[in-house]
Amino acid sequence: MTDPVRWAIIGTAGIAGRTFLPSLDYVGGGEARVVAGRDADRTARFARDHGVQHAVSDYQEALADPQVDAVYVPLPNSMHAQWAMAALEAGKAVLCEKPLCSSLEETQRLLAVAAKTGLPMWEAIAFPFRSQTDRLLELISDGAIGEVREIQSSFHFTLRPGDIRLSAQLAGGALADVGCYPIRLARLVFGSEATGVRASQRLTDGGVDAETWGVLDFPGLQSQFRDRIFVSLDVPENFRLNRVPIQVAMVWAIQVFSGSVDGGPNFLFVDHAIRRRR
């Protein structure tokens, strides 16, 4: 029998207690060894409420624990790369919330550390592992809608005033927080990396992008493929979207455009496509 992976959680963010720890318990094969937080009372309460074995008030102390195999990092965006690097250098595997990095320089430094240590490191984006994504890619591979030429993605969060995702100091903004989803989807569907990008943003008074529009070009054998994205963050009094076309519970709505026989677009929404092919 394989020994369980022993985890340290760096920070007491809501997503750690709401998503990571219940998932760890559900999947099995791992245990929550220690949680580290700046507020000793809050960290102790988090450990008690979520069944974590130990609580400490020093991130580095958790990383130095010889009984820890892997580290989960759910800190604010601006701290992700710093503590992912620290965990790798401490000899631990890393699962870090997105965005893994906030700049090209951070990305290059973190990847260099990961390559040097040879340890596993993953950005915590869950949808590539869901059965719906497998089914989507299977349908596209089977030619259910022909050759995919364009993907249109829209992702919106409504936030409370003061949310850290609207903080420039904490590397907030729509592109950093939710832009990773449509971009990752396009990379999966097209099976390649983007070769060009054009983008525009609407910035808040605090200097973060409340909205980002972008077009990413991907290479194709016969034509240029395209991913059009719109991602946005707003507080209710500034909510600017007039309509949301479709919501799919627990996952997302996807529009994939392909060339069709009559020259018009075909639309594939994953759940409908699955039912159609049964």
Residue boundaries of the structural domains of the chain: 5-123, 127-277
Contacts of 271 (CB under 8 A, 6+ apart): 132, 248
Residue 213: pLDDT over 80: yes
What is the Cα–Cα distance from 91 to 71, expressed in whole angstroms? 10
Q: What is the pLDDT of residue 225?
A: 66
pTM over 0.85: no
The CATH number that domain 127-277 falls under is 3.30.360.10
Q: What is the pLDDT of residue 277?
A: 37
Confidence of residue 157 (pLDDT cuts 50, 70, 90): confident
Q: What is the pLDDT of residue 1?
A: 52
Mean pLDDT of 94-107: 95
pLDDT in tens, 172-207: 999 998 888 889 988 998 889 998 899 999 999 999
Least confident of 71-80, 129-138, 144-153, 239-248: 239-248
pLDDT in tens, 74-95: 999 999 999 999 999 999 999 9
- Contact status, residue 146 vs residue 259, Cβ threshold 8 Å: yes
The pLDDT mean for the chain works out to 83
Q: What is the pLDDT of residue 74?
A: 97
pLDDT in tens, 219-253: 874 455 676 767 777 655 433 433 333 333 334 44
Spelled out in words, what is the top-level CATH class assigned to the domain 5-123?
alpha beta
For 158-217, the three-class secondary structure string (H helix, E strand, C coil) is ECCCCCHHHCCCCCCCHHHHHCHHHHHHHHHHHCCCCCEEEEEEEECCCCCEEEEEEEEE
What is the Cα–Cα distance from 144 to 135, expressed in whole angstroms? 11
Known catalytic residues are 98
Mean pLDDT of 145-173: 86
